[in-house]
Amino acid sequence: MQEGDDLIECVGCKVVFLFGGGEKAFFEEKGLSEPKRCAPCRRTRKEGRQRAANPVYEERDEVGDCDM
């Protein structure tokens, strides 16, 4: 751990991860606040958002009862 590095507890999986170095510099450069989640959780959420943005609808055969 180097000076300026932060230890952050992931709100997702409660793992304490190190946030610092190039990653921290990247976030500061972009004007972003510290991440609340560890890298694996962020990746999972990102993938989840992409799935939500492009939902794959399963085509189902409508089995309708023709009582009329």
List interacting residues with Zn ion (CB under 5 A). Answer: 10, 12-13, 38, 41
Q: How far is CA 34 from CA 12, 25, 39, in A?
A: 14, 11, 12
Comparing CB distances to Zn ion, the nearer of 20 and 67 is 20
Beta carbon of residue 45, minimum distance to Zn ion (angstroms, whole number) = 9
CA proximity to 12, closest of 34, 57, 45: 45
Beta carbon of residue 65, minimum distance to Zn ion (angstroms, whole number) = 47
Comparing CB distances to Zn ion, the nearer of 45 and 51 is 45
**Phi, psi for residue 27 in degrees, rounded to 5:** -65, -40
